[in-house]
Amino acid sequence: MDAAPDTLGPALFAVADPSRRALLHRLAQGPATSGQLAELLPMSRPAVSQHLRVLADAGLLCTTVRGRQHWHELATARLSEIERWVHTLVDTWTAAPVLSQRRHRDSGAAWTRP
């Protein structure tokens, strides 16, 4: 695997939170200021700033200061690492022997084997 799960831990932790996923979804549409991002979530600006810090520390966004505004945008390298890791995991799972059809059916998994 390109990126070991140990190095992806902070990024996986960051995307586990629904508020941070909402921020990432917005940033996928283009850069935004802290104020614009704060309007998306029903929480205080300091709370949004904490979420942005977690995303930045995980390498999922970068911030540029212009005057008094902080502009945030996606840092896609870490997202690409997560994507590669997930694809490798799915490829490994797809190639693995199956104990029974019941195992897959009972797991409630959204993935289906080709």
The dihedral through the CA atoms of 83, 88, 93, 94 has a sign that is positive
pTM of the model: 0.76
Separation between Cα atoms, residue 23 and residue 37, nearest integer Å: 7
CATH 2.40.50.100, applies to 1-114: no
Residue-level pLDDT at 1: 47
52-95 residue pLDDT tens = 999 999 999 999 999 999 999 999 899 999 999 999 988 888 88
Query: Residue 97 has which token pair?
Result: 């022997």
pLDDT value at 4 more than 60 = no
* Domain extents in the chain: 1-114
How much is the mean pLDDT over the chain? Answer: 86
Look at residue 49 and tell me whether its pLDDT is greater than 50.
yes
